[in-house]
Amino acid sequence: MYNPSHFNTSDDRAALLALMRAHPLGALVTHGPQGLDANHLPFEVDEAAGVLRAHVARANPLWQQVPASGGMPAMVIFRGQAGYISPNWYPSKHETHRQVPTWNYQVVHVHGQLTVMDQERFVRGLVARLTREHEKRSNQPKPWMMGDAPADYIDQMLAAIVGIEMTLERLEGKFKLSQNKEARDRLGAVEGLAAVGEGGLAGVMRMG
């Protein structure tokens, strides 16, 4: 992607991993027999092992396109905070009128090799970990567990999905947060976002 130096955060690996964990629904982009394809999946980020993990429906042809002899090049796109920036929020606009609208956002592109993990133990463990994590995030008073459902039903559901794993070979980050604007205009954008309820984007811009 086009990534000017003032927006490029690729060297801050910790920040990129933090965004991936905070926004785990990634777009897995592959190139198969029918051309480019994108699948939207919640990922487990395992920095220690250097991989992303997820699962797809067994009916999804994606996993059958991965060579059995080795991996397939792929990319996963994670998106963080994003929002429209009005020129009206810049103090300088009211003086010179030399400002235009833009869109601020945070994205991480992960490049690596995709492999299929069609083992019941892998899939069961992955689903259990993802469930624990996201039940916790959703503040459930009594988190759902796989054991809450009949064992034969869980076995049936697990048989209908296939695990996948992708190496974390290269991470590329772009945090476009008005770093190219003067301080007063950036602060104006932060205040404008907060006023229209975009507190998440306003917060990361303020911290950045």
Question: pLDDT per residue over 139-176, tens digit each?
Answer: 999 999 999 999 999 999 999 999 999 999 999 999 99
Domain count, the chain: 1
Residue 110 CA to residue 26 CA, distance in Å, equals 10
Mean pLDDT of 24-48: 96
8 part of a folded domain = no
171 part of a folded domain = yes
**Is-contact 36 74, C-beta < 8 A?**
no
List CB contacts of 93: < 8 A, sequence separation 6 or more.
87, 99, 185
List CB contacts of 57: < 8 A, sequence separation 6 or more.
160, 161, 162
User: What proportion of the chain, given as a percentage, has pLDDT over 70?
Assistant: 100
Residue 189 CA to residue 183 CA, distance in Å, equals 10
In CATH, what number is assigned to the domain containing residue 22?
2.30.110.10
Residue with tokens 């777009």: 27
pLDDT tens-place string over residues 49-87: 999 999 999 999 999 999 987 789 999 999 999 999 999
pLDDT-derived band at 111 (thresholds 50, 70, 90) equals very high
Q: How many CB atoms lie within 10 A of CB 145?
A: 11
Residue 186 CA to residue 202 CA, distance in Å, equals 10
2 part of a folded domain = no
Mean pLDDT of 25-41: 96
1 part of a folded domain = no
77 part of a folded domain = yes
List CB contacts of 99: < 8 A, sequence separation 6 or more.
87, 90, 92, 93, 185
7 part of a folded domain = no
If residue 208 lies in a helix (H) or strand (E), which one and from where to where?
none
Expressed as residue numbers, the domain containing 119 is 13-207
**Which residues, in sequence order, are bridge partners of residue 106?**
175
pLDDT-derived band at 207 (thresholds 50, 70, 90) equals confident
3 part of a folded domain = no
Per the document, the length of the chain is 208
5 part of a folded domain = no
